[in-house]
């Protein structure tokens, strides 16, 4: 690999690995490229945040960029990156045409995080109190934007096999444009179950999740209204500790000491909180991607009860790290059983380690990912010729988005 290879990441936000799985995911991608000797620049139009990571500590250059501003063109012309990574499709929409115009030879990669159109279509179906249908995706406004973005890029990184199937079967996206790269764990992240707190040493239930994320807020409401009262009926002494970054006033108002329903806000050290708990509850009713909170539970040797949306694409053919239940009565029943029965709890813990071992270890993916990037860089012309729909969309987007953006820029003057 030429030492001078460079990567430009265009971030939707500055990475906050302690606030969300998305922040952790971004740091993993940075590390994968650094291993291939890439010099990395991270650019974003986002405001700085109190909890963002100090990129300079990771030898990543931080650059603030502006939306709808030709200053970006000068910046990228000078940088001439080998690879450009868009963090979510909205960044590709804003900057993709500028990258294509000023650095036509740069490999363009989209990190989808999760399929936004799937999450939104499920959320809308849920709010309308009806079952989600696959056909909902075809009428979802965001799908038209997101799929166009996937087609315009040379490669899209997917964290969920289920979403890859949707893209190939429903939207007829060619497999050569998609690459499966889930959340990754270092080998030393696998827990030594002997050294972790024992069943007896742990207590209480825990829920953890960033409250900016609508599925998390909805899950906490569901716990409060439906599931927690059922658990309390069987276990009057039970306590549920709820942690999450960015809790709003409506989240904080749910705190009720008498009910053992405790809202704590941001966890200083999420892993410590999860390791002390006997169990994680994650009754997610809509969403997409794979769930960082459930992978973290496995890392902490903490069994979980979740829904089929929560466990989607996470377990492969392995038994879950606890139970998967969609019915609230069964969910509560399994939560109580897992909390009280040591043998079942210990088996759930082992199941979690097996899932991590077979599906999430970084060493299972890193070499193949490096080969994939190298292959695309050396075959970029042919790869794009094979993706005519992408080239067609690039052509039209360049015309429409380009002039819209220039109009906004003039207006802003």
Kindly report the CATH number that applies to the domain delimited by 6-181+365-412: 3.40.50.2000
pLDDT at 160: 97
Which tokens sit at 50? Answer: 């109190």
Residue 127 has pLDDT above 90, yes or no: yes
Which tokens sit at 298? Answer: 């496995």
Q: What is the pLDDT of residues 17-76, one digit of tens each?
A: 988 899 999 999 999 999 999 999 999 999 999 999 999 999 999 999 999 999 999 999
Structurally, at CATH architecture level, domain 187-359 sits in 3-Layer(aba) Sandwich (3.40)
DSSP 362: G
Instruction: Taking the CA atoms of 8, 95, 19 and 323 in sequence, report the sign of the dihedral they define.
Output: negative
Residue 2 has pLDDT above 70, yes or no: no
CA distance 345 to 322: 7
Domain ranges for the chain? 6-181+365-412, 187-359
CA distance 242 to 254: 10
Q: Please, what is the average pLDDT of the chain?
A: 95
CA distance 269 to 254: 22
Asked if 159 contacts 182 with a C-beta cutoff of 8 angstroms, the reply is yes
Q: What is the pLDDT of residues 75-111, one digit of tens each?
A: 999 999 999 999 999 999 999 999 999 999 999 999 9
The pTM of this model reads 0.94
pLDDT at 3: 52
CA distance 323 to 237: 22
For 162, other C-beta atoms within 10 Å of its C-beta total 16
Q: Which of 361, 363, 379, 369 is nearest to 36 (CA)?
A: 369
Which tokens sit at 3? Answer: 């030492």
CA distance 336 to 2: 56
Give percent above pLDDT 90 in the chain. Answer: 91
Residue 161 has pLDDT above 70, yes or no: yes
Question: Strand 83-87 relative to strand 107-111: parallel, antiparallel, unpaired?
Answer: parallel
CA distance 282 to 186: 24
């Amino acid at each position: 690999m030429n030492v001078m290879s460079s990567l430009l990441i265009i971030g939707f936000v500055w990475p906050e690995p302690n606030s969300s799985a998305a922040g952790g995911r971004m740091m993993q991608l940075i590390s994968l490229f650094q291993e291939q000797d890439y010099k990395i620049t991270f650019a974003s139009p986002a405001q700085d945040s109190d909890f963002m990571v100090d990129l300079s500590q990771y030898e990543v250059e931080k650059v603030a960029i502006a939306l709808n501003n030709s200053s970006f063109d000068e910046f990228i012309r000078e940088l001439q990156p080998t690879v450009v990574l868009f963090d979510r499709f909205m960044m590709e929409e804003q900057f993709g045409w500028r990258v294509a115009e000023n650095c036509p030879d740069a490999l363009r990669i989209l990190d989808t995080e999760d399929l936004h159109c799937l999450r939104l279509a499920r959320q809308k179906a849920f709010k309308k109190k009806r079952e989600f249908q696959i056909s909902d995706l075809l009428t979802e406004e965001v799908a038209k934007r997101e799929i166009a973005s996937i087609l315009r890029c040379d490669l899209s990184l997917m964290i969920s096999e289920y979403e890859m199937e949707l893209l190939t079967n429903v939207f007829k996206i060619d497999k050569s444009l998609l690459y499966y790269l889930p959340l990754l764990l270092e080998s030393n992240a696998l827990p030594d179950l002997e050294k972790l707190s024992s069943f007896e040493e742990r207590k209480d239930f825990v829920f953890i999740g960033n409250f900016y994320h609508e599925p998390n807020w909805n899950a906490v409401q569901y716990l409060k209204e439906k599931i927690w009262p059922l658990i309390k009926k069987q276990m009057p002494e039970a306590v549920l500790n709820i942690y999450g970054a960015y809790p709003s006033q409506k989240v904080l108002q749910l705190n009720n000491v008498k009910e053992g329903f405790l809202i704590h806000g941001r966890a200083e050290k999420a892993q410590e909180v999860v390791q002390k708990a006997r169990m994680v509850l994650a009754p997610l009713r809509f969403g997409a991607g794979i769930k960082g909170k459930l992978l973290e539970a496995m890392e902490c040797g903490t069994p979980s009860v979740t829904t089929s949306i929560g466990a989607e694409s996470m377990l492969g053919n392995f038994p879950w790290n606890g139970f998967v239940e969609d019915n609230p009565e069964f969910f509560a029943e399994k939560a109580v059983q897992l909390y009280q029965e040591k043998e079942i709890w210990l088996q759930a813990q082992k199941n979690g380690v097996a899932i991590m071992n077979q599906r999430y270890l970084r060493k299972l993916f890193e070499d193949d990912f490096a080969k994939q990037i190298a292959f695309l860089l050396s075959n970029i012309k042919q790869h794009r010729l094979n993706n005519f729909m992408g080239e067609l969309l690039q052509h039209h987007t360049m015309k429409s988005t380009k002039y819209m953006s220039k109009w906004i820029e003039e207006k802003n003057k």
